[in-house]
Amino acid sequence: MGTCNYCENSDGTISNTIGFCAECIRAHFDVVWPQIKKVHEHSRRAYGLPEDPPRAVDGIPCGLCVHGCKIPEKGTGFCGLRKVQNGKIRGGRPHEGNLYYYYDPLPTNCVGDFVCPGGTGCGYPRYSVSRGPEHGYRNLAVFYHACAFNCLYCQNYHFKEKTFSTKIISAKNLARAVDKKTNCICYFGGDPTPQILHAIKTSKMALKDADGRILRICWETNGAVKEPFLTMMADLSLKSGGCIKFDLKAWDKGIHHALCGVTNTMTLENFRTLAEWTAQRPKPPLLIASTLLVPGYVDEPEVSKIARFISSLNPDIPYSLLAFYPQFYLNDLPVTSMSHALRCKAVAEKAGLRNVHVGNVHLLAEDY
């Protein structure tokens, strides 16, 4: 059982790692943040990652994500992948893919499988080969070993060990992995943002090679990418029948900082921008939102505000609520309970959303 270092309340959903309850983080963020930041710094040092985005006066601007890193000679960006050598940025260029990939049979456990063509046949016959789930076909799942966030509950934190890997896969070779049974490519990780140049080039080459047959381009992202890359992602997905899945991790800026180490401002701005695209292709949906229900921190107030935000843009945007499993630095919290998930679903629907889904049901725990 954790105890809040500010208000001294004890609760089974207060993480000793974070050290503060959600209410104190929301109300007194400036006071509690210095202690929480130390946790993030420690978690990054363990993998040789920069504790803060570099701001070198004479550094080379990266320009891919929210951090706006200015990387000094022989230094690295916050993601740990982008580095400067001889005055030029290396890592994450179009021909440099630090990743692994695999084939996932359709329908798969994708965040958007409850509305996407691969899982439902939505968009048949233009975007799907069948009226229902695309059995017999597969997704090319591309996992990028880098991220611009520092989520203390990262479900795939092992990628951090490979961020500095020198083994690369070129865009050309990755595009060649798409065969006639591959109906979609999904970029995730980590996050696609630090290697967005590689993903965009791969997508264009794969679509050209597909020569008009169905090949959807999809993304799972924290949404902190800068323009013009956001527009490039959206254009590829819109035209191919793919979707962009934004992980809206929290609404409150303090909670988001505490959990992820960075701001959510650009994520929300980018989501708002893409919501304006949704009218161009209502089915299959271009934009999907998801939120991991972290016990004690991503509660009904957080979900309600996220849902109101989504609903104000387009109430038909699908929203998936995902079960949390204790991982990485937040291994002292319980699994999301069934009642927690159902309460959050109810408040999201009350906020006006028409398609709210509870995912990872097999992980949900009995009430606690």
What is the tens place of the pLDDT at every residue in 57-88?
A: 999 999 999 999 999 999 999 999 999 999 99
Q: How far apart are CA 195 and CA 92, in angstroms?
A: 4
Residues sharing a CB contact under 8 Å with residue 98, sequence separation 6 or more, in sequence order: 81, 91, 92, 144, 145, 146, 162, 163, 165, 167, 168, 195
Pair of tokens at residue 136: 């017999």
In a domain, 9, yes or no: no
Average pLDDT, the chain: 96
Can you give the pLDDT at residue 1? 63
Please count the other Cβ atoms lying within 10 Å of the Cβ belonging to residue 138.
18
Instruction: List the domain range (segments joined by +) for residue 167.
Output: 99-363
- Across 261-271, average pLDDT: 98
357 within a domain of the structure (yes/no): yes
| Residue 350 is assigned to a structural domain of this protein | yes
pLDDT of residue 109: 84
The per-residue pLDDT for 368 is 55
Structural domains in the chain (count)? 1
Q: Is residue 338 part of a domain?
A: yes
Spell 219-229 as b/e; 16+ CB within 10 A means b.
bbbbbbbbeeb
Q: Which pLDDT score, from 0 to 100, does residue 364 have?
A: 87
pLDDT (average), residues 313-339 = 96
Which band of pLDDT confidence, cut at 50, 70 and 90, is reported for residue 363?
confident
Within-domain flag for 114: yes
For 172-226, write each residue's pLDDT tens digit: 999 999 999 999 999 999 999 999 999 999 999 999 999 999 999 999 999 999 9
Helix (H) or strand (E) holding 359: strand 356-359
Q: Are strands 356-359 and 319-323 parallel, antiparallel or unpaired?
A: parallel
295 contacts 121 by C-beta, under 8 angstroms: no
pTM, full prediction: 0.96
- 152 located within any domain: yes
Cα–Cα dist 339/364, whole Å: 9
Distance, in Å, from the CA atom of 330 to the CA atom of 75, rounded to the nearest integer, reads: 29
User: For 120-149, what is each residue's pLDDT tens digit?
Assistant: 999 999 999 999 999 999 999 999 999 999
Q: Is residue 43 part of a domain?
A: no
> Is 27 domain-assigned?
no
- What percentage of residues in the chain have a pLDDT greater than 90? 93
> What pLDDT is stored for residue 361 in this prediction?
87
Q: Given phi > 0 = left and psi -120 to 50 = alpha, else beta, which region is 285? A: beta
Integer Cα distance of 48 and 360 in angstroms: 32
The residue written with tokens 């690295």 in the block is: 76
CATH of the domain at 258: 3.20.20.70
244, 237 contact by CB (below 8 A): yes
Which residue has tokens 């527009």? 231
Q: Give the per-residue pLDDT at 269.
A: 98
DSSP 323: E
Q: Of 294, 277, 273, nearest to 286 (Cα)?
A: 277
83-85 vs 287-293, strand pairing mode: unpaired
